[in-house]
Amino acid sequence: MRNDIKIEETATVENDKGMQDGKSFLRQSIETVAYFIIIFVVVLLVQRFLIQPVEVNGSSMEPTLHNNNHVLLEKISYSLSEPKRFDVIVFQPYEDDNELYYIKRVIGLPGETVQIMDSVILINGERLDENYGLENLIKSAGIAGEKIVLGEGEYFVLGDNRNNSKDSRDPSVGVVKQDSILGRAWCTIWPFRDFGIVKHK
């Protein structure tokens, strides 16, 4: 009789332990899934509002940026202030293509008149003092051969590789609207030989 009671009590303890182990495993599984969900949401929020990695495709920003460079794009600056001259920005050139982005340098600011004459960039009729261009001579002024008056929230951009860049001189791109700007290029992170802060000034 006593042996039966002992056996019955042992079975009860083992069953309780098994149930606790099952609950513990389930709880750990839920916590693990919740952890990864939180990490995923945090990454999405960081990319949406703070920092996003982008890859340069092409040579239009040489010598500042090179093909296949991986760059960190920061999105904080333009929520606090407007783009400045010589900032390197990433923007959406076409409203009907959400997957395509360009990276270029800001040359003209809202309210200014931009024109390119004899390879010289003119801002409000005055020569712009800058040395970002890969080559001294700009072969094509494009639509900037005529005066371009920038309205509110409009920017004129150029690639540093002026003779191999599709930018504001191209009528299909034109001036860049501020609401199409994704952010400001911050630093090159890969390949390591190109690691460093992107030159804006």
Q: Tell me, yes or no, whether 128 and 80 share the same domain.
A: yes
CATH of the domain at 190: 2.10.109.10
CA distance 119 to 110: 22
Q: Tell me, yes or no, whether 41 and 60 share the same domain.
A: no
User: pLDDT tens digit string along 3-16?
Assistant: 444 434 444 445 55
Going from the C-alpha of 106 to that of each of 2, 4, 99, 142, the distances in angstroms are 90, 87, 21, 17
CA distance 162 to 62: 9
Looking at per-residue pLDDT, the higher value among 43 and 172 belongs to 172
Which pair of structure tokens corresponds to residue 189?
Answer: 């992170």
Q: Tell me, yes or no, whether 119 and 189 share the same domain.
A: yes
> What is the residue range of 70's domain?
54-197
Q: Tell me, yes or no, whether 20 and 86 share the same domain.
A: no
Q: Tell me, yes or no, whether 22 and 106 share the same domain.
A: no
Catalytic residues: 60, 104
User: pLDDT tens digit string along 88-139?
Assistant: 999 998 876 777 899 999 999 999 999 999 999 999 999 998 888 877 789 9
Q: Tell me, yes or no, whether 82 and 139 share the same domain.
A: yes
Is 134:195 a contact under the CB 8 Å cutoff?
A: no
Q: What total number of domains does the chain contain? A: 2
CA distance 118 to 62: 22
The DSSP call for residue 196 is E
Q: Tell me, yes or no, whether 96 and 162 share the same domain.
A: yes
List helix spans (H) across the chain.
2-49, 77-80
Q: Tell me, yes or no, whether 93 and 125 share the same domain.
A: yes
